[in-house]
Amino acid sequence: MSATLGVMLQEVDPSLTVALLEAEGAAGLESSDPWNNAGTGHAALCELNYAPLNADGTVSAQKALTINEQFHVSRQFWAHLVETGRLKDPNTFINSLPHMSFVWGDAHADYLRARYESFSRENLFHEMEHTEDPEVIREWAPLLMEGRTGGQRLAASRFKHGTDVDFGALTRKLVESLEEKGARVEFNTRVKNLTKNADGTWSVAVKDRNTGVERVERARFVFVGAGGGALHLLQKSGVPEGKGFAGFPISGQFLRCTNPEVIEKHHAKVYGQAQVGAPPMSVPHLDTRFVNGKRALMFGPYAGFSTKFLKRGTYFDLPLSLRTSNIVPMLAVAKDNMDLTKYLVTEVLKSRESKDGSLRDFAPAAEGKDWELITAGQRVQVIKKDKLKHGILQFGTELITTQDGSLGALLGASPGASTAAPIMVELIRRAFGDKFSEYEPKFREMIPSFGQKLNDNPELLAEVEEHTSQVLNLA
Ligand SMILES: Cc1cc2nc3c(=O)[nH]c(=O)nc-3n(C[C@H](O)[C@H](O)[C@H](O)COP(=O)(O)OP(=O)(O)OC[C@H]3O[C@@H](n4cnc5c(N)ncnc54)[C@H](O)[C@@H]3O)c2cc1C
């Protein structure tokens, strides 16, 4: 997020002085690392949690359309950076990969058909395909069918021209480019506190993690893009806009395939249906990945519970985030989300054998010996005040900006990585006030669909798809 914002600001206003302060020794090691998130090219093409079933049996495409529009903004921004030489070798961070949804049983198959009927009417999803023919599913993703018995009704939808994005690689490339264009980038530098000065600027207290030396930086604008670390810093800033927010950490694990022959057999991102109570981003999926340019395969996530807000955080993260202003929302969420609690307890208690069993629901011939268990990143779901319910758990990202536009922060998890570019455009719109209209021509140049809905404009959509595919070297 911070790397995206920094590069975007340099593009729209080269007169700005930009500094990026990172606690770790390199960029993109937390949520944006490819083994820590599930956001690989996440464009709502296959994730069923973005397509709720209506009471009349139809499926709503609205949320998925919004996310897909956002992903197209990110894609255009990356293409602009490739065209202008700021990002090189696009296939080191983005690759073509079909996106599929796969379900079994009558109820789920009926739902998937209704989703297909609703989605295929939309321009953004016009190329979606659907089948209930096991042989076609076998052709699309052989691992789903190998060893499958039982004669259950199966259904799958596919979007052939999806993508896989290695957000860790992308983050590191963006940070390199940021530095090349004159930004100051400091690693091993932890931000410890934020204090508003009388003149409206911010004092940012930082500590060099190698030497232990502490110092204070001054800035006219601060973006708290610290992932799971953002809530603490927002609270420390004392801004009223940050009051009432809390975080609920959910940890996760993936199974990573170690057998090259199995990896080779699968070439898709396949999402299934979530269990009752499962948070939306815990929907099981069997994904091909391109990590550091190498093809890989993973299955998961299996949710867990940890009180850490960052993978490299401490167990005190959750207790230290408690405030008088966020206790009520937290208790309200605990009371209203018993299904989630039950789901998490079940997941935490799952044995390795039972994890392999969930994998075999997807890939029946999978053998446990070919898969290793790895720890995914920490997601800190946003809990916020709500007039009616006192507190709600939000499964998205929450952008917070102060009234004077001097501070912005991003809380939450998913979708985040895939939608970073439009989120940062919105941040600049909110925080940079009058300047935003000056920046608009540059935004239009970088993002040809800026201010328009591609779904309502099939000609522009075709142009944008063709242009970005060509620049990013996608099939
Ligand atoms: C399991 C999982 C699944 C996900 N699935 C999806 C998905 O399907 N689609 C999607 O779009 N998104 C998904 N996400 C969310 C996505 O990964 C995040 O939205 C995105 O990576 C957040 O980027 P960020 O820059 O805000 O945070 P991060 O990548 O976590 O970066 C924050 C950085 O701030 C640094 N930092 C923290 N505290 C401090 C401090 N005090 N001082 C200095 N530096 C600090 C950290 O070291 C880190 O480098 C998922 C996340 C997880 C964990």
Rounded to the nearest angstrom, the distance between the alpha carbon of 33 and the centre of ligand 1 is 8
Q: Is the dihedral of CA 188, 192, 198, 200 positive or negative?
A: positive
The domain containing residue 188 runs over which residues?
A: 2-471
pLDDT recorded at residue 279: 66
- Mean pLDDT throughout 411-428? 92
CA distance 86 to 164: 20
Rounded to the nearest angstrom, the distance between the alpha carbon of 167 and the centre of ligand 1 is 10
User: CA 383, 384, 386: angle at the middle one, nearest 5?
Assistant: 130
For the chain, the domain total comes to: 1
CB-side neighbour CA atoms (13 Å) of 353 = 0
Of 178-192, 211-225, 343-357, 442-456, give the lowest mean pLDDT range: 343-357
Quote the DSSP letter at residue 59: B
User: Ligand 1 atom 52: the closest Cα is on which residue?
Assistant: 37
CATH code of the domain in which 373 resides: 3.50.50
Substitution site in 4, 32, 237 for ligand 1 pocket (most atoms within 8 Å of beta carbon): 32
Model confidence band, residue 456 (pLDDT cutoffs 50, 70, 90):
very high
pLDDT digits (tens, 9 = 90+) for 251-305: 889 999 999 999 999 999 999 998 766 666 678 999 999 998 899 999 998 888 8
- Could you count the other beta carbons within 10 Å of the beta carbon of residue 56? 6
Helix (H), strand (E) at residue 164: strand 163-165
User: Is the C-beta atom of 42 inside 6 A of ligand 1?
Assistant: yes
CA distance 31 to 304: 16
pLDDT recorded at residue 347: 79
pLDDT recorded at residue 277: 64
Measure Cα distances from 353 to 146, 317, 359 in Å. 20, 31, 10
- Mean pLDDT throughout 14-34? 95
Measure Cα distances from 150 to 153, 155, 160, 266 in Å. 9, 14, 28, 22
User: Is the C-beta atom of 21 inside 6 A of ligand 1?
Assistant: yes
Substitution site in 24, 29, 31, 253 for ligand 1 pocket (most atoms within 8 Å of beta carbon): 31
Measure Cα distances from 301 to 13, 240, 265, 326 in Å. 40, 35, 21, 28
The percent of residues in the chain predicted with pLDDT above 70, rounded, is 97
pLDDT recorded at residue 423: 97
Contact assessment for residue 317 and residue 308, using Cβ atoms and an 8 Å cutoff = yes
Model confidence band, residue 129 (pLDDT cutoffs 50, 70, 90):
very high
Omega prior to 301 cis, within 30 of 0: yes
- Mean pLDDT throughout 446-454? 97
CA distance 29 to 32: 6
- Please check the confidence at residue 408 and state whether its pLDDT lies above 80: yes
Model confidence band, residue 458 (pLDDT cutoffs 50, 70, 90):
very high
Strand partners for 165: 94
Substitution site in 414, 419, 423, 427 for ligand 1 pocket (most atoms within 8 Å of beta carbon): 414
User: Is the C-beta atom of 175 inside 6 A of ligand 1?
Assistant: no
Distance of CA 236 to the CA centre of its chain: 25
- Could you count the other beta carbons within 10 Å of the beta carbon of residue 10? 19
CB-side neighbour CA atoms (13 Å) of 461 = 17
Strand partners for 93: none
The percent of residues in the chain predicted with pLDDT above 90, rounded, is 77
pLDDT digits (tens, 9 = 90+) for 31-70: 999 888 766 668 999 999 899 999 999 999 999 999 999 9
